[in-house]
Structure 1
């Protein structure tokens, strides 16, 4: 009975670790998409809108970016609650999502941890 209990605990720990890894990976991918949409909005569609009077790309990408941003914030809060992240980490990730190239900092920090 002792050995099966140890195996059961190990399986639970492995599943929990796998869930945490997959969840944070999804957040990273969503953050990457959100960050790239922000950069595209600022450096591609804004010049098109104001220099060439082409507002349609800005409207479309603006809506896509807005939806991605809302998904990111909701998912970030959900992960904060599920994985018991600190408010400091959560706010740091939120601020990185607002800043252009903030997602690059998050990826760099994740790569070198």
Structure 2
């Protein structure tokens, strides 16, 4: 399950960056393309975010993570590039 969590974390981080790219770059270049991409990118990011949090809760119970470690890993999901840092810092122990 930890491997699945790492994969979901990687995909969630990538979807977060793609969502920001769509909001900040593509919106200024082509407004119609921005509108077209917003729903699929946003929906996939939302699903991955929810999966990341649910898996983090399950792993907290399975591996007896401290509350501090759990919150660090959970908060990393709302910071750009946070899931990448989280995977390197706290999940490779």
Q: TM-score interval w.r.t. the shorter chain? A: 0.7 to 0.9
Q: Deviations over 1:71-101 (max 9, x none)?
A: 1111110111122111111110011111001
Q: Deviations over 1:6-57 (max 9, x none)?
A: xxxxxxxxxxxxxxxxx222111110100000001101x2132344112111
**CA contact under 8 A between 2:76 and 2:86: conserved in structure 1?**
yes
Structure 1 unaligned spans of 5+: 1-22
Structure 1 residues 111 and 86 mapped into 2: Cα distance closer, same or farther (>3 Å)? closer
Structure 2 unaligned spans of 5+: none
**2:10 maps to 1:32:** yes
Q: Which has the larger radius of gyration?
A: 1
How well do the aligned residues superpose, as a CA RMSD in angstroms?
Answer: 1.8
**2:19 maps to 1:41:** yes
Match for residue 72 of structure 1? 52
**2:88 maps to 1:108:** yes
Q: TM-score, normalised by structure 2?
A: 0.84
Q: TM-score, normalised by structure 1?
A: 0.71
**CA contact under 8 A between 1:49 and 1:58: conserved in structure 2?**
no
Residue number among 59, 63, 66 corresponding to 1:86 in the alignment: 66
**CA contact under 8 A between 2:5 and 2:55: conserved in structure 1?**
yes
**In the comparison of the two structures, how many residue pairs are matched?**
90
Higher RCO structure (Cα 8 Å, ≥6 apart): 2
